[in-house]
Amino acid sequence: MTDDLPPQSDPAPPPAPPPPTAADHLDGPDVASLLESADAETLTSLTVDAVGAARADPSAAWLTRLDTLRASLLLRNERRLLALCLQGLVEVALAQSRPDLAAPAARTLWGVRELLDQPWKAHQAMLLLAQAQEASDDPGAAEATLTRALGAAQKLAPAGNVVPASAAAARTLTQLGQLLARQGRAAEAAEWLSGAIDLAPDDETAATAKAALAALQAR
């Protein structure tokens, strides 16, 4: 009778465990040695994955992980990866209402972008720094940073960069106008916002400035 039984198939193998994520690597007990010994390709992949995951989930845990990664990249003098990590760190710190962490990270990001000769990204870092300074209850520092950022945007205009430089300047004026509006300086705010509208070279930049001016006038 046993010969008539159907043959039994081998049991299915257990599913393979998922590959470790950036969070797994950065939460591991040997994270320091991992980051110290990782080759360039591994370090690049880990940084890109970590910043992407942090932006998708700007949590306190990712704030800690990115700060760990930042320290290692700084020691290894990996400036391009450090800039990417700092960008994510600033964004997560602001999302977590931690301007005390966002402001120094943004200031470092600005410096790294300048060392890398990336003036457009350096300008973006200045705007992030001003945002963090205002969140740190230091509107005077934020205003000074935005004034300097406006000058930096104007310097980007030569050599055929008039349109993107105008957009950068308009974004700076819009942020400055919004800052002044929140400080109760409505007349100055309206002047800067009107200037942003006049300077904006594209519909999106102009629309942002117009919305800010409309919000000011509706108060």
> 97: domain range?
22-119
Rounded CA separation 82/63 (Å): 15
Q: At 29, is the pLDDT very low, low, confident or very high (cuts 50, 70, 90)?
A: confident
> Which of residues 87, 119, 151 is at a domain's end?
119
> Which of residues 119, 151, 179 is at a domain's end?
119
- CB count within 10 Å of CB 195 equals 18
Question: Which pTM value belongs to this model?
Answer: 0.87
Q: What is the domain count for the chain?
A: 2
> Which of residues 68, 86, 119 is at a domain's end?
119
User: From the centroid of its chain, how far is CA 211?
Assistant: 23
| CATH number of the domain within which 202 lies | 1.25.40
pLDDT at residue number 12: 67
On whether both 114 and 142 belong to a single domain, the answer is no
Q: Is residue 4 part of a domain?
A: no
On whether both 26 and 112 belong to a single domain, the answer is yes
Q: At 32, is the pLDDT very low, low, confident or very high (cuts 50, 70, 90)?
A: confident
Q: Is residue 14 part of a domain?
A: no
Please report, for residues 63, 87, 146, 185, the alpha-carbon distance to residue 48 in angstroms, rounded to integers and kept in the order given.
Answer: 15, 11, 29, 41
On whether both 47 and 111 belong to a single domain, the answer is yes
Q: Which region, left, alpha or beta, applies to residue 184 given φ > 0 means left and ψ of -120 to 50 means alpha?
A: left
Rounded CA separation 76/148 (Å): 31
In this predicted model, what pLDDT tens digit does every residue of 139-169 receive, in sequence order?
A: 999 999 999 999 999 999 886 789 999 999 9
On whether both 166 and 211 belong to a single domain, the answer is yes
On whether both 147 and 105 belong to a single domain, the answer is no
String of DSSP letters for 58-124: --HHHHHHHHHHHHHHHHTT-HHHHHHHHHHHHHHHHHTT-HHHHHHHHHHHHHHHHHTT-HHHHHH
On whether both 156 and 111 belong to a single domain, the answer is no
- Three-state DSSP state, 189: helix
Q: Is residue 143 part of a domain?
A: yes
Q: DSSP 3-state helix, strand, coil percentages of the chain (rounded to 5)? A: 75, 0, 25
Cβ contact 41:3 at 8 Å:
no
In this predicted model, what pLDDT tens digit does every residue of 100-126 receive, in sequence order?
A: 999 999 999 999 999 999 999 999 999
Q: At residue 3, does pLDDT exceed 80?
A: no
Q: At 207, is the pLDDT very low, low, confident or very high (cuts 50, 70, 90)?
A: very high
pLDDT at residue number 6: 61
Q: Which region, left, alpha or beta, applies to residue 5 given φ > 0 means left and ψ of -120 to 50 means alpha?
A: beta
Q: At residue 171, does pLDDT exceed 60?
A: yes
Rounded CA separation 74/66 (Å): 12
Q: In one letter, which amino acid is 166?
A: S
Q: In one letter, which amino acid is 18?
A: P
Please report, for residues 61, 110, 175, the alpha-carbon distance to residue 96 in angstroms, rounded to integers and kept in the order given.
Answer: 10, 21, 21
- CB count within 10 Å of CB 1 equals 4
Rounded CA separation 16/27 (Å): 21
On whether both 142 and 115 belong to a single domain, the answer is no
